[in-house]
Amino acid sequence: MRAAGTSKRDQGRPHEFDNTHCATAPPRRTWHAPRRAAPRSADRKRQRRIAARRVAALWAREGTGCMRRRALLGLAATPPLLVAADAPPPLSEAQILLFETPHLAGLQPPLRLDYGFTRDEPGREPVRDRIRLQVTAGEAEGRFDVSPEFLTGARAIRYPVAHGFRGNPLLLFALDRDAREMSAATGGSIGWFRNHLRRAFAEAAPPRRVMLDLAGRAVPASEILLEPFADEPRARLFRQRRYRFVLAEAVPGWIQGIATDMPADDAGGRLREEIRFAGASPAAEGAG
């Protein structure tokens, strides 16, 4: 069964995102209960390949804004609702910092941005993995092409090259993966999680100014905290999930960390995932 207002072709598709609709478009209240057994490993790999091809098709379209606002992976699973004819509401400070800031400006390509990935969950072996972004000059001045290696081995997700970006597409990859992981864990609609994340960014409090230790020196940074599902029982085990984004201009690519945290409760122990900046290094021409 597919959500009302979506076509068979669009079901499960990583849809485009437009920040101009964030503040006014409420999430759809459609919820899908699980109807099938968990997919086999081969099926999951096939689904990931299909998702990557769909994302590539979205990125092939011309966009505007530092993060190509209409290419934010899957945070709007349904077509945006119509807004009034007058000017749309302004973007929140969190939206501007995350999706409208030229994070890649000032980089000297070709270079590689490295990030560490960690996952800690009671009763399971800790996960230690990596993410790499190969950054090269784009066709237009001030824009960049970014080739991702998002995790390794069985955890790897083969996202396509992000062409013509000014913002750091790591945010897009991380949020897309997160929405899909929550959907798979609960049997709920991917679109439902995406829409709640979208609304959370629009309603987020202004970023908090913090100091960050970078290679032994203190630099100013901004911290964004979100709890997108706090008032939504349908999020089930993710109802208490907290997000933390830390960005600093002194960090190449701006993103110092993206973390999610769920406190221990009756359903299980504390679960924490984090993507953290690990370094930048020159890359050979044509690498990636």
pLDDT at 147: 97
* Per-residue pLDDT tens digits for 159-168: 999 999 999 9
Domains in the chain: how many in total?
Answer: 1
What band does 283 get if pLDDT is binned at 50, 70 and 90? confident
Residue 139: predicted pLDDT? 93
Inter-residue contact 172 to 72 (CB < 8 Å): yes
Once rounded to an integer, what is the mean pLDDT over residues 228-251?
87
User: Is the residue at 14 inside a domain?
Assistant: no
Bridging pattern class, strands 162-165 and 208-214: unpaired
Average pLDDT, integer, range 237-252: 92
- Find all residues with CB under 8 Å of 141, minimum gap 6, and list them: none
Neighbours of 262 (CB within 10 A): 19
- Is residue 7 a part of any domain in this protein? no
Q: What is the CA radius of gyration of the chain?
A: 18
**pLDDT of 286 higher than 70:** no
Mean pLDDT (whole number) for 60-76: 41
| Contact of 146 with 172, CB cutoff 8 Å | no
User: Is residue 252 over pLDDT 50?
Assistant: yes
Model confidence pTM above 0.75: no
pLDDT of 65 strictly over 80? no
Q: Is residue 10 part of a domain?
A: no
Q: Starting at the edge strand that comes first in sequence, how are the strands of the sheet with 127-137 ordered?
A: 162-165, 144-150, 127-137, 111-120, 271-282, 255-262, 242-247, 217-226, 208-214
Largest CA distance in the chain: 54
In a domain, 180, yes or no: yes
For 6-54, write each residue's pLDDT tens digit.
444 444 333 333 343 333 344 444 444 344 444 555 665 565 555 544 5
Condensed to tens digits (0 to 9), the pLDDT of residues 120-176 reads 988 889 999 999 999 999 999 999 999 999 999 999 999 999 999 999 999 999 999
Of 23-37, 103-117, 207-221, where does mean pLDDT reach its minimum? 23-37
Choose the weakest-confidence range: 28-37, 99-108, 199-208, 224-233. 28-37
Domain of residue 116 covers 19-282
What average pLDDT does this structure show over 41-69? 47
| Statement: residue 4 has pLDDT above 50 | no
Q: What are phi and psi of 222, to 5 degrees?
A: -125, 140
Query: Is residue 139, in this structure, part of any structural domain at all?
Result: yes
Q: Own/partner pairs for 182-188, CB < 8 Å, 24+ apart? A: 182/235, 182/238, 182/241, 184/38, 185/237, 185/238, 186/34, 186/235, 186/236, 186/237, 186/238, 187/32, 187/33, 187/34, 187/35, 188/31, 188/32, 188/234, 188/235, 188/236
Judge whether 1 lies within some domain: no
| Helix, strand or coil, per DSSP, at residue 169 | coil
Of residues 139, 169, 150, 200, the one with CA closest to residue 65: 169
Mean pLDDT rounded to a whole number for the chain: 77
Range scoring the smallest mean pLDDT among 15-24, 178-187, 200-209: 15-24
Residue 76 confidence (pLDDT): 32
Q: Among 36-45, 108-117, 179-188, 193-202, whose mean pLDDT is lowest? A: 36-45
In a domain, 232, yes or no: yes
Instruction: Establish if 43 belongs to a structural domain.
Output: yes
